[in-house]
Amino acid sequence: MKYLKLLSISLLMFIFAIACQAGEDNRIVYDENTSDVYLETIEEGDKEDHEGDEDHEGHDHEGEIIDALSNIQGIVDPNNLLWPRKVIINDNEISIMERPEKVLTISLGHDEILFGISNTDQIAGTTSFAQDDGSNIQIKSEGLPIVTTDPETIIALSPNLVFADPYASIELIDTLEDIGITVVQTSLDNSSEGRKNDIWLMSYITGNLENALVLNEEIDRKVKILNDLAAENIDNTKNVMTLSWWDAYWTAGSGSTEDAIIQLAGGENVSALNGVESNNTIEKELLISMNPEIILITQSVSWGGQDFYDQLMTDESLSSIEAIKNKEVYMVNSNWWSTLSYWNIKGSEELSKILWNLDEIEDFGDFE
């Protein structure tokens, strides 16, 4: 009996080989109950369900993920959740042949996004800023190798892929690419939707789409809370100004990260309203004439923020400014106000509490 069963299997293996050559998809099935062995043709729909399981992402939320990817600039084929994948960055087509095993970035904003969608098994190293005291990802990045703009520090970690910001030098990028490291150089967007787009693009490239879906849902939830609070208090909004001192008064105008943070919280950026663009210097006379109701010092204590605060509050020539007169000058978390990643939503939470006189915002929470 045993020999007959082996003979049957051998015969079916022969038939299977011929069927494969004929272009059919088949599988051998052994029925434990009857000891029958037979050849079964795989139906097209069943084939699609199993094809590429090892390389395919997003099984549970495939439609939702594809819909999101369809709106992301740079992704060549949003319907392709297999490998290889192609993206177009700065007019250059980049092919990612398989999910990269080791990834790193040379930009803090990219670091923060990478830690939001990936895990330390995939992350080869971080910038030094990621591990600074008080960093948004200090705990997560602790103990990982630190890279700099010196290519040798990057090459030593043998990454498959490196994310860089627009300020990375051409020499650095050329050096990495010459030895076969894929470099993706992207700018990060400071708007609410832009943050999500950056997350989707990086997750598509690194193979972390399910994690991106979870993170973007959390961003949407937090943004809705802030929008609802702003709508409830629309008649009570105040003029807000960010301020720091680097041999001159610096403030954030239209198009800046700080401007996006202020708008999301429901404040009015008085610097933008007065024609200041991006991050720029202003004269003391303009500061006085803008007369902000709230001043936010975005300069960290370690970089002289507390000294600047003391200077503002004791300068008699500034005493007529509403924010100073009413003691509405606040030291804010510079890690939230200077980053280009989704972590700057925490800056909007911080300002929202100031604007609406709240100790806490219910159910807002931190990012994991």
**How far, rounded to the nearest angstrom, does the alpha carbon of residue 304 sit from its chain's CA centroid?**
29
- Confidence bin at 368 (pLDDT 50/70/90): confident
Last residue of a domain, one of 157, 185, 218: 218
- DSSP codes, 222-260: HHHHHHHHHHHTGGG--EEEEEEESSSEEEE-BTSHHHH
- Confidence bin at 58 (pLDDT 50/70/90): low
Structure tokens at 270: 């008085």
- Same domain, yes or no: 195 and 83: yes
pLDDT in tens, 254-309: 999 999 999 999 999 999 999 999 999 999 999 999 999 999 999 999 999 999 99
- Same domain, yes or no: 211 and 271: no
Q: What is the pLDDT of residue 162?
A: 98
- Classify residue 120: in a domain, yes or no: yes
- Classify residue 248: in a domain, yes or no: yes
- Confidence bin at 192 (pLDDT 50/70/90): confident
pLDDT in tens, 136-160: 999 999 999 999 999 999 999 999 9
- Classify residue 57: in a domain, yes or no: no
**How far, rounded to the nearest angstrom, does the alpha carbon of residue 261 sit from its chain's CA centroid?**
16
Which has the minimum average pLDDT: 114-128, 158-172, 181-195, 264-278? 181-195
Q: In sequence order, what are the residues at sequence separation of 6 or more whose Cβ sits closer than 8 angstroms to the Cβ of residue 368?
A: none
When divided into structural domains, the chain yields a total of: 3
- Same domain, yes or no: 347 and 270: yes
Q: What is the pLDDT of residue 351?
A: 98
Sign of the Cα torsion 345, 347, 350, 354 reads: negative
pLDDT in tens, 8-52: 444 444 444 444 444 445 444 444 344 444 444 444 444 344 334
The type of residue at 200 is W
Phi-psi region of 121 (alpha: psi -120 to 50; beta: other; left: phi over 0): alpha
56 has a pLDDT exceeding 70: no
- Same domain, yes or no: 66 and 206: yes
With contact defined as beta carbons under 8 Å apart, do 196 and 217 qualify? no
Q: At what angle do helices 192-206 and 62-69 cross, to 10 degrees?
A: 120
- Same domain, yes or no: 77 and 178: yes
- Classify residue 42: in a domain, yes or no: yes
- Same domain, yes or no: 94 and 140: yes
**How far, rounded to the nearest angstrom, does the alpha carbon of residue 12 sit from its chain's CA centroid?**
52
Q: What is the pLDDT of residue 33?
A: 42
Say what percent of the chain tops pLDDT 90: 82
- Same domain, yes or no: 83 and 203: yes
- Classify residue 296: in a domain, yes or no: yes
Please state the rounded mean pLDDT for residues 325-336: 97
- Same domain, yes or no: 122 and 23: no
- Confidence bin at 191 (pLDDT 50/70/90): confident
- DSSP codes, 282-323: E-HHHHHHH--SEEEE-S-GGGTHHHHHHHHHH-GGGTTSHH
- Same domain, yes or no: 292 and 334: yes
Please state the rounded mean pLDDT for residues 168-190: 96
Q: In sequence order, what are the residues at sequence separation of 6 or more whose Cβ sits closer than 8 angstroms to the Cβ of residue 279?
A: 250, 251, 252, 253, 256, 258
Structure tokens at 236: 């009570």
Burial 323-355, CB ≥16 within 10 A → b, else e: bbeeebbbebebbbbbbbbbbbbbbbbbbbbbb
Last residue of a domain, one of 50, 70, 88: 50
Work out the burial of residue 42: count CB atoms within 10 Å of its CB; fewer than 13 is exposed, 13-18 middle, 19 or more buried.
middle
What residue numbers bound the domain in which 10 lies? Answer: 2-50
Radius of gyration of the chain (CA): 28
Predicted structure pTM score: 0.84
pLDDT in tens, 207-242: 999 999 999 999 999 999 999 999 999 999 999 999
Last residue of a domain, one of 50, 73, 89: 50
- Same domain, yes or no: 21 and 145: no
What's the CATH code of the domain at 109? 3.40.50.1980
- Classify residue 282: in a domain, yes or no: yes
- Classify residue 134: in a domain, yes or no: yes
98 has a pLDDT exceeding 50: yes
- Same domain, yes or no: 66 and 214: yes
Q: For residue 333, give the nearest of 359, 310, 307, 305 by alpha carbon.
A: 305
Burial 202-241, CB ≥16 within 10 A → b, else e: bbbbbbbbbbbbebbebbeebbebbeebbeeeeeeebbbb
Q: What is the DSSP letter of 42?
A: P
- Same domain, yes or no: 33 and 76: no
Please report which residue ranges of the chain form alpha helices under DSSP H. Answer: 2-21, 44-50, 62-69, 108-117, 138-141, 151-155, 170-178, 192-206, 209-232, 257-265, 270-273, 284-290, 305-314, 322-325, 334-337, 345-355
Count how many residues are written for the chain. Answer: 368
- Confidence bin at 55 (pLDDT 50/70/90): low
Q: What is the pLDDT of residue 202?
A: 98
- Classify residue 190: in a domain, yes or no: yes
